[in-house]
Chains A and B, each alone.
Chain A
Amino acid sequence: GAVVSQHPSRVICKSGTSVKIECRSLDFQATTMFWYRQFPKQSLMLMATSNEGSKATYEQGVEKDKFLINHASLTLSTLTVTSAHPEDSSFYICSAREPRGNYGYTFGSGTRLTVV
């Protein structure tokens, strides 16, 4: 089946620095990828829709200048958390859909970000 690879799985960074998270679709092309954020024991909150070759669409309340999304190719989307603060610490997950499959989305394994 479709596989989405997400890296890194865990990252610790200092306040004020930036962190990049990669999401790759393996063996299929994804014109659209989605980025979610999940706090402990809570649901997945959609942050933005990443569109290949165009600007990302951000959900209400998500700062686009803080969470930079780049979808430069049909197999790679990146999320950069800029000027990270402790409150940005969370579990970030991407997802993509194999176009030839059903409607189901495949999720990456997630990235645990801790800002100290």
Chain B
Amino acid sequence: GENVEQHPSTLSVQEGDSAVIKCTYSDSASNYFPWYKQELGKGPQLIIDIRSNVGEKKDQRIAVTLNKTAKHFSLHITETQPEDSAVYFCAASLGGGFKTIFGAGTRLFVKA
């Protein structure tokens, strides 16, 4: 089955700096890669996603890149703000109604 690895487990940056979180997946058939932000005591919220037919996607300060050959994808947050502090999860799935497999998560701290 699919296995998703995520690094780093913890990331601390200064406000205004960029943050990068990297993930790799094992199943070459996976074609949908969402990223979720989870705040303490709450469910995950989708912040950006990318499909396998696209190499990069950007939404304001957040961007995701995908390298299908290498089977890895990354989340880039620019101009970080304290409210970006949370746990971020990458995930992979076959899309549609198929199950989603999550990475272990990255705890991001943005210091003011």
Q: How many contacts A-B (CB < 8 Å)?
A: 52
B residues near A, CB below 8 A? 32, 34, 36, 41-46, 49, 51, 89, 93, 95-97, 99-105, 107
Report A-chain residues with C-beta under 8 Å of the C-beta of B95: 103
A43 and B89 form a contact (CB under 8 A): yes
A residues near B, CB below 8 A? 4, 6, 31-32, 34, 41-44, 46, 49, 93, 95, 97, 102-110, 112
* 10 tightest Cβ-Cβ pairs between the two chains A and B: A107-B43, A103-B32, A103-B95, A32-B97, A110-B43, A104-B46, A43-B104, A44-B102, A109-B43, A43-B102
A104 and B41 form a contact (CB under 8 A): no
A93/B43 contact (C-beta < 8 A), A42-B105, A102-B49, A103-B49 known? yes
Q: In the assembled complex, how far is the CB of residue A38 from the closest CB belonging to chain B, in whole angstroms?
A: 9
Bound form: Cα–Cα A109–B51 in Å: 26
Q: In the assembled complex, how far is the CB of residue A67 from the closest CB belonging to chain B, in whole angstroms?
A: 16
